[in-house]
């Protein structure tokens, strides 16, 4: 398989990989962690995605050509690093760096009660949350710089390391953008993260860098509310109709959201995608106002 050759230089034999607990369930299979992979005679902590035994050949190709091949091209401190693959026997493994605290959504929800207590974080809570937001913005800025649209930007797809650095993961939906077009039209209407999607993505399946910017502002909502579900109890259909009509989460923001952050989110939720800022502008704006992403 040509795809396997593209990953051959990061192939490791199965006896150089150890894992010992399930971290989560993904679209293609399970995510295992708490293990190590031996690379250049060194054992490194890792997590891995393991493809379901029942996966079809086309799912195997999607897994290798999608996440694994994409992820190996990315080198940035706010993007999860693919360390190796193990595809000589089944199930196939995509082996990633381990992010000790798991995904940011679970991390924040489990800290709702104690987050404001002294000593919970080494920096103040607003500084910590703003740093999380800046990390995600920088990860997206990098992806856009190398011409990728993530298309599934959400708090659940941001991982937290032992040093509280945030790394974007889950490239199952990411797509490369050719030089001529800065958008990607998605016509296979499968499972779509509608609550994070922009009006043009919902209406026309049109994904641009700016549709990632829209989703990023939904992530800001998730951060300040410590993991609330966007649009609450509304159904997916109701959300789609509302967003297509021009509704945003601005009306649902807690009253004490920092006005500067509210304004930034409003810009990111501009109905017309070319009016939204770039991720570089967003990252710069947040860096100019340390602590503006405060819990509400």
Q: Does 220 bind ligand ADP (CB under 6 A)?
A: no
> Which residue lies nearer to ligand ADP by CB, 159 or 261?
159
Of 19, 134, 141, 175, the residue nearest 83 (C-alpha): 19
Integer Cα distance of 101 and 121 in angstroms: 13
DSSP 138-200: HHHHHHHHTTEE-S---GGGEEE-TT--EEE---SS-EE--SS-SEEE-----S--GGG--HH
Of these residues, 53, 103, 135, 152, which one is catalytic? 152
C-alpha separations of 11 from 37, 75, 235 in Å: 11, 18, 43
DSSP 35-52: EEEEETTEEEEEEEEEE-
Q: Does 170 bind ligand ADP (CB under 6 A)?
A: yes
To the query of whether residue 152 is one of the catalytic residues in this protein, the response is yes
> Which residue lies nearer to ligand ADP by CB, 23 or 268?
23
Beta strands 21-25 and 42-51: pairing type? unpaired
> Which residue lies nearer to ligand ADP by CB, 37 or 282?
37
Q: How far is the CB of 97 from ligand ADP (least distance, A)?
A: 6
User: Using the rule CB under 6 A, which residue among 12, 17, 19, 33 binds ligand ADP?
Assistant: 33
Burial class (CB in 10 A: 0-12, 13-18, 19+), 2: exposed
User: Using the rule CB under 6 A, which residue among 47, 158, 201, 279 binds ligand ADP?
Assistant: 47
Note whether 154 and 219 are within 8 A (CB). Answer: yes
> Which residue lies nearer to ligand ADP by CB, 33 or 91?
33
Annotated ligand binding at 49? The verdict is yes
Question: What residues between 50 and 109 interact with ligand ADP by CB under 6 A?
Answer: 80, 96, 98-99, 102-103
User: Using the rule CB under 6 A, which residue among 24, 34, 205, 290 binds ligand ADP?
Assistant: 24
**Binding segment for ligand ADP among 10-18, 20-28, 230-238, 276-284 (CB under 6 A)?**
20-28
Q: How far is the CB of 228 from ligand ADP (least distance, A)?
A: 17
Q: Which residues of 211-228 are buried (b: 16+ CB within 10 A; e: fewer)?
A: bbbbbbbbbbbbbbbbbb
Q: How far is the CB of 172 from ligand ADP (least distance, A)?
A: 6
Q: Which spans of this chain sit near ligand ADP (rule: CB under 6 A)?
A: 23-24, 26-27, 31, 33, 47, 80, 96, 98-99, 102-103, 156-157, 159, 169-170, 172
Which positions make up the binding site for ATP?
49
Which positions make up the binding site?
49
Residues marked active site are found at 152
């Amino acid at each position: 398989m040509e795809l396997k050759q593209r990953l051959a230089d990061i192939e490791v034999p199965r006896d150089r990989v150890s894992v010992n607990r399930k971290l989560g369930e993904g679209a293609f299979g399970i995510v295992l962690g708490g293990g190590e992979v031996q690379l250049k005679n060194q054992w490194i902590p890792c997590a891995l995605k393991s493809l379901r035994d029942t996966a079809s050949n086309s799912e195997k190709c999607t897994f290798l050509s999608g996440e694994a091949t994409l992820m190996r091209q990315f080198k940035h401190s706010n993007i999860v690093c693919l360390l190796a693959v193990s595809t000589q026997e089944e199930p196939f493994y995509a082996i990633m760096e381990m992010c000790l605290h798991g995904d940011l959504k679970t991390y924040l929800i489990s800290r709702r009660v104690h987050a404001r207590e002294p000593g919970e974080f080494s920096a103040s809570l607003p500084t910590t949350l703003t740093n999380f937001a800046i990390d995600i913005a920088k990860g997206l800025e990098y992806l856009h710089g190398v011409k990728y649209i993530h298309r599934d930007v959400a708090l659940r797809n941001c991982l937290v390391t032992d040093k509280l650095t945030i790394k974007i993961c889950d490239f199952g939906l990411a797509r490369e953008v050719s030089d001529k077009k800065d958008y990607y039209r998605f016509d296979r209407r499968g499972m779509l993260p509608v609550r994070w999607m922009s009006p043009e993505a919902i209406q026309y399946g049109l994904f641009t860098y700016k549709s990632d910017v829209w989703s990023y502002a939904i992530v800001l909502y998730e951060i300040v509310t410590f993991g609330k579900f966007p649009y609450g109890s509304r159904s997916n259909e109701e959300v789609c109709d509302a967003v297509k009509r021009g509704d945003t989460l601005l009306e649902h923001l807690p009253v004490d959201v920092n006005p500067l952050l509210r304004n930034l989110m409003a810009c990111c939720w501009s109905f017309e995608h070319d009016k939204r800022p770039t991720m570089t502008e967003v990252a710069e704006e947040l860096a100019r106002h340390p602590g503006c992403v405060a819990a509400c």
